[in-house]
Amino acid sequence: MHVLILGGTTEARRLAQAVCDARPEWRVTTSLAGRVARPLLPVGEVRTGGFGGADGLARALRELHVDALIDATHPFAGTISFHAATAATEAHVPLLALRRPGWVPTEGDNWHRVASLEDAATSLPALGRRAFLTVGRQGVPAFASVDDVFFLVRAVDPPEPPLPGHTQVLLSRGPFTLEDERALLQEHQIDVLVTKDAGGSATSAKLVAAREAGIPVIVVERPPVLASVQRVGSVAEVMDWLGQLSPWGSPRTESGGV
């Protein structure tokens, strides 16, 4: 079996590890877009860079003799997921999407859900003057025209212009602890948090810190998903699916490796 994982997420790295552990004889390749200068690398083979659209991905699936395609990309990486669906159909390769569940507000949260980064920028000045912006490097330009707000931007790599007029950049990669997030909000006198609904535990402490401090949170909702693509929420479920595909049975059951 050759399993191709579209990656760039914690889940994708965990999945590569799980498959390699359970089925060392299988070929596992993770594909990265190449956005991050020094990415955390998964086990198995790694290829980097775009495929050249859905057609290019379909060609790669055939040329690499891929038996199963897993879309384990970030919930906000909508284009590659769309291409994966088209390419898998074209190349007749089974496709499964691995998506971590979105965050859910709890009592005490003051969340403002918006449909896009642009909507977040529009609603921001009414909610605060000192924003903690955690929407990823590529999302920062959407806030460039917001002049009357100070931005503390946290990203793995430096965001590229245009940036908002009052911006301080903090280069950092999660996971982040609650203690650190509390201190950050306090140190920079943050009065509003802006985030995408990324889900997962690595970056969720900021939501707890915001709740404790009574700070409003602008939550950008996820882009719509393709109903035609089967989706699961955990690495274990992917392993079960791979086991059903493989003529050699479930890697999870046989090795107990996940």
Say how far apart CA 192 and CA 151 lie, in whole Å.
10
Cα-based distances in Å from 176 to 33, 173, 180: 24, 8, 7
Q: Contacts with ligand NAP in 44-73 (CB under 6 A)?
A: 50-53, 56-57, 73
Q: Which stretch binds ligand NAP (CB under 6 A): 13-21, 75-83, 213-221, 231-239?
A: 75-83
Among 4, 69, 76, 176, binds ligand NAP (CB under 6 A): 76
By CB under 6 A, residue 226 contacts ligand NAP: no
Residue 146 token pair: 């917001």
By CB under 6 A, residue 31 contacts ligand NAP: yes
207: left (phi over 0), alpha (psi -120 to 50) or beta: alpha
Among 18, 32, 96, 155, binds ligand NAP (CB under 6 A): 32
By CB under 6 A, residue 83 contacts ligand NAP: yes
Q: Supply the minimum distance, in Å, between the C-beta of residue 190 and ligand NAP.
A: 21
Among 42, 136, 199, 216, binds ligand NAP (CB under 6 A): 136
Among 43, 46, 64, 77, binds ligand NAP (CB under 6 A): 77
Say how far apart CA 87 and CA 90 lie, in whole Å.
5
Say how far apart CA 24 and CA 2 lie, in whole Å.
11
Nearest CA to 36 out of 144, 158, 143 is that of 158
Nearest CA to 199 out of 129, 105, 114 is that of 105
Which residue's beta carbon is nearest to the bound ligand NAP?
Answer: 50
Q: Supply the minimum distance, in Å, between the C-beta of residue 253 and ligand NAP.
A: 29
Q: For the chain, what's the residue count?
A: 258
**Chain residues in the site for ligand NAP (CB under 6 A):** 6-9, 31-33, 35, 50-53, 56-57, 73-74, 76-80, 83, 136
